[in-house]
């Protein structure tokens, strides 16, 4: 899959960060997903259980930043996402959107009224 990485916490748990293509058709940009779990395998299993089947972590090219670690540790589910920053534009210091619960990403769009 795309870039990702992990950081081991002092208590032995890990925070895994992955840049993934957006599963929603109305969101063309990729997403950055953060998962807090006891180990890397459990973090990936949490994502696969949510329907993101082709999620793999190869290497540690894009580990979570300290701000990302804080965000996921303070969320009750320990699983958050936001639109991936577009560093290709040469402006990585632009303000980014807030972290959202994973339910907001995987929620299917509402059916049109009949």
pLDDT tens digits for range 28-68: 678 889 999 999 999 999 988 988 878 888 888 889 999 99
pLDDT over 70 (residue 92): no
> Residue ranges per domain, the chain?
4-85
Residue 91's pLDDT is 44
Residue 90 — pLDDT band, cuts 50, 70, 90?
very low
> What global pTM score does this model have?
0.78
Q: What is the pLDDT of residue 23?
A: 63
Quick check: 97 pLDDT over 90? Answer: no
Q: What share of the chain is helix, strand, coil (3-state, %, to 5)?
A: 25, 25, 55
Q: How far apart are CA 114 and CA 110, in angstroms?
A: 12
- Identify the three-state secondary structure at position 31: strand
Query: What is the Cα 9 distance to its own chain's centre?
Result: 17
């Amino acid at each position: 899959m795309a870039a990702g990485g992990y950081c081991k916490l002092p208590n032995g748990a890990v925070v895994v960060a992955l840049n993934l293509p957006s599963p929603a058709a109305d969101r063309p940009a990729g997403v950055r997903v953060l998962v807090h779990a006891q180990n890397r395998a459990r973090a990936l299993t949490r994502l696969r259980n949510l329907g993101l089947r082709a999620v793999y972590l190869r290497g540690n090219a894009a580990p979570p930043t300290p701000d990302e670690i804080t965000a996921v540790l303070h969320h009750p589910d320990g699983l958050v996402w936001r639109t991936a920053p577009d560093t290709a534009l040469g402006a990585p210091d632009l303000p980014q959107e807030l972290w959202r619960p994973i339910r907001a990403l995987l929620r299917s769009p509402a059916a049109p009224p009949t």
